[in-house]
A and B are shown apart, each in its own frame.
Chain A
Amino acid sequence: MTGQGTIFEVQDLAIGFGERDDILHGVDLTIDRGEFLTLLGPSGCGKTTILNLAAGLLRPRAGHVRFAGEPINGVNRNVGYMTQDDTLLPWQTVQANIGLPLRMRKVPKAEIARQVGRYLEILDLGHAANLLPGQLSGGMRRRALLARSMIYEPKLLLMDEPFAALDAQMRHQMHIELRETVKRAGQTVMFVTHDITEAAKISDRVLIVGGGPPGGIVAEYRLPFGVERDLDALRFTDEFARVEQELNRGLLDARSKATADGGGNGS
């Protein structure tokens, strides 16, 4: 953890909506600038809800949600949000999609072209610049979304199972590219996944979400791999296997707690 001040903070949070009025309760969470934090938990435990709170798409029933020390009121335009859903505009080319946030922020055209070119190069999308999203593979779409989410240098990048639809090989490649891109930009990331291996590979810190309903943060792990990590080699080390086992145990404990509390929706 780099620890250069808190960017996002949740205190004593309670939230629910519709028929599920108790998704999360008593959640305390902070993320520091430059940190790569992963929320790990089973589907339906409230991980995405926390990202939506950070993006200002939801409001808590109780508790405080602050971004850079200020309460979040309305859509938070200081974050980038990469969801599972493909949100590339299908009628715009890859480069037009990537440059969209800058165009909306009235950045001069020359600067937009420069930044788009830089991200096309970083994420190896140069050859696809003039293609429409429908002409791209799943991995290329994800890279284009990552570029679009990062090009305006959001203070916090929210990623909701962004690589869930990719095959294992492509997912591993995306992990490498994500780590490198994020490191280069000094980007703060809050990542959501239910995949233990993914969480162990890319995170600085992992919070296990679960134990509900209502759910909460049931365990915290600081990963020992450091900022510089060779993901190709790392996944075959004993230390990595040990971290995976610990995270797995954390998830099982969360599930047991849910069952003992009479919750455990089994999702």
Chain B
Amino acid sequence: MTDTLVGSRPAQKRKATQRRSARRHRLMVLGIQALVIAAVLVAWELASGRVVQELLISRPSEFLPALWGWVTDGTLLTNAAATFRSAGLGLLCGGLLGILVGVVLGQAKTLAEIFEPMITALYTMPKHALIPLFIMWVGIGSGLGVLTAAVIVFFLVFFNTFFGIREVRPSLVNSVRIMGGSEIDVMLRVRLPSALIWVVAALKLAVPQAVVGVVVAEMLAGDSGLGYLVARNAGMFNSAGTFAALTTLLIAGFLIDRLMSWVTKKPLEWKNNNSAM
């Protein structure tokens, strides 16, 4: 017991020192990032109207108050909610369909031989080029964003689920069967968890891609949303409004990336721990 206590003190001290050092490093990085952003904003402010026409690049002292105005009058919340609602629904529909088709084709070899090349061919098409077709199908509005996001997400999730199911080591499947597992056990305890890691990896890409799809759809034919804000302000040569909308997208994109990293950290933990897989 004494040995343990004596032995653990230096280790605890070392860990505390490492934690303090890591915190200091993080603060330093954040400080430098804040300085870089401030420097860019100051340079932008000074260059606007002097080096580059203000109409082309606006200026921080114009678009930041415009952005704050949208925050206070609810414009930002309404349009951001419209964008994320469409992206969320698209993610749900496209994701579920991608998982379902991925599981079915991952299990059925003949079906996979028939359909996988067709799905691959469709995947190679630029999805945004389909938006005019989607407008004919569902018209202008939130349905367009949902459909665009769903199509983008479907392919990403399908391929990851399909290969996740197919890539399961036969030895894992055989071991579960020998231990008394049914085909349902094989699916629920081996194939799906094994594919989950691929699906989670796909979601890291699919979520921001779904938002991009919705924004593009809103820009082309929307009546609300962040993409609509960008297109409307640009169409009126309101550069402050355009940059305010773009800044919103920038911040939203950053937050989504961080959120997905946080959400996927736990499911990816075993993968990071396992060198054998």
Binding site for B on A (CB under 8 A): 55-57, 75-77, 79-81, 83, 85-87, 89-91, 100-101, 104-105, 132-135, 148, 152
Contacts and interface: CB of A to CB of B under 8 A. Distances in A.
A132 B179 contact: no
A91 B169 CA distance: 14
A105 B180 CA distance: 7
Contacts, number: 74
Interface size, B (range): 20 to 34
Interface of B: 169, 171-172, 174-182, 185, 189-190, 193-194, 196-197, 269-277
B175 A90 contact: no
B267 to A, nearest CB: 8
Nearest to A82: B175
B181 A104 contact: yes
Contact of A85 (B169, B176, B273): B169
B269 A132 contact: yes
Say what secondary structure dominates the interface of chain B: helix
Given A75-B177, A81-B178, A89-B190, A134 B273 contact: yes
Nearest to A91: B270
Contact of A134 (B177, B182, B275): B275
Nearest to A55: B178
A133 B276 CA distance: 9
Given A87-B172, A91-B270, A132-B270, A152 B275 contact: no
B233 to A, nearest CB: 47
Contacts of B189: 89, 100, 104
A168 B189 CA distance: 34
Nearest to A145: B175
Q: In the complex, which of the residues B176, B189, B194, B274 has the most CB atoms of chain A within 10 Å of its own CB atom?
A: B274
Nearest to B171: A85
A133 B175 CA distance: 16
B180 A81 contact: no
B276 A90 contact: yes
Nearest to A57: B174
Contact of B178 (A77, A90, A132): A77
Most central of B169, B174, B179, B189 by chain A CB within 10 Å = B179
B274 A90 contact: yes
Given A132-B269, A132-B270, A90 B180 contact: no
A83 B180 contact: no
Contact of B273 (A56, A79, A80, A132): A132
Interface centre among A81, A91, A133, A152 (most CB of B within 10 A): A91
Nearest to B197: A91
Contacts of A100: 176, 179, 189
Contact of A81 (B169, B175, B181, B190): B175
A135 B171 contact: no
B120 to A, nearest CB: 29
Contacts of B181: 104
